[in-house]
Amino acid sequence: MSDAFKDHFSRHAELYRRYRPAWPSEVFAWLATLTPVHQRAWDVGTGSGQAAHGLAAHFADVIATDASASQVAQGEPHERVRYAVGTAESSGLAAGLVDLVLAAQAFHWFNFERFFAECRRVVRPASGTDHGGVVACLTYMHPIVDAGIDAVLASYIAHVRSDWPPERRFVDAGYANTPFPFDEIPVPSGLALTLELDLDGFFGYLATWSAAQRYRERTGLDPRANFATGVASAWGDPELRRVVRWPVAGRVGTVKSVAG
């Protein structure tokens, strides 16, 4: 993979902040059980800081970095969260500083091997029976609403698929097709992001996809237009708020090597 930072989100950071779902508290509670020390977490590829806030409920200090300055500027303030512009491959953090590294919906953009090396450098080293730091690379899959809406959504996905960057293939596989050199811990089944959306909010979410942005730039057209009638018909009352679910997948593991 290229070392160059691929900024797919700066131009629509506000749209992303408004319509993307938040990670559920259950995810962070589970992650906190994986490491006995809860002094410091690194939220890498933080975006607007959604995951950083979740980590702050369990860790005394959260360092939230993103290579996109406009995304960092959208970060929601929190007394235990420190935002900074930085890359996954060269964070600027001190060695052995971090108990947990979390990449939430960001891992697929990284240079994998350089990110792994940075994780080995910054995580707290193993000591005795303590395995040391944990690395969690989590993603969420395409949303699920109900059979009728899901069928229209599948057509929309096919319509914009060629406009996704090639890294999207890692998300579609739940990161099962990526390297991951750490001692793996299974992600619990049943974890999902959820959001109650009306029809307008659901269409707003569809506009946040990087593929939708690229389609619009390439053609000058809104890729949602051909599917508006079908989604509206399946949705029913446009003011009805439906529960939208994004199943969680990913790779999580312990880092036994010492920092250096």
Mean per-residue pLDDT for 51-71? 95
Assess whether pLDDT exceeds 90 at residue 104: yes
Minimum mean pLDDT range among 8-12, 49-53, 198-202: 8-12
Tell me, yes or no, if the pTM score tops 0.95. no
For the chain, the structural domain boundaries read 10-143+166-192+247-254
Are the C-beta atoms of residues 26 and 57 closer than 8 Å to each other?
no
Which segments within the chain are labelled E, that is strand? 40-44, 61-66, 81-85, 100-104, 134-140, 183-185, 192-197, 242-254
Are the C-beta atoms of residues 98 and 40 closer than 8 Å to each other?
yes
Q: Which CATH architecture best describes the domain 10-143+166-192+247-254?
A: 3-Layer(aba) Sandwich (3.40)
pLDDT tens digits along 33-52: 999 999 999 999 998 898 99
Minimum mean pLDDT range among 32-46, 67-81, 112-126, 135-149: 67-81
**High-pLDDT (> 90) share of the chain, %:** 79
| pLDDT value of residue 16 | 58
Mean pLDDT of the chain: 90
| pLDDT value of residue 2 | 42
pLDDT tens digits along 139-180: 999 999 999 999 999 999 999 999 999 999 999 999 999 999
**CA–CA separation, 23 and 17 (whole Å):** 13
Mean per-residue pLDDT for 120-131? 84
Assess whether pLDDT exceeds 90 at residue 126: no
Mean per-residue pLDDT for 186-191? 96
| pLDDT value of residue 14 | 59
Q: How confident is the model at residue 99 (pLDDT cuts 50, 70, 90)?
A: very high
The residue among 244 and 5 whose pLDDT is bigger is 244
Structure tokens at 109: 């953009």
Are the C-beta atoms of residues 100 and 252 closer than 8 Å to each other?
no
- Beta strand pairing status for 61-66 and 134-140? unpaired
| pLDDT value of residue 235 | 97
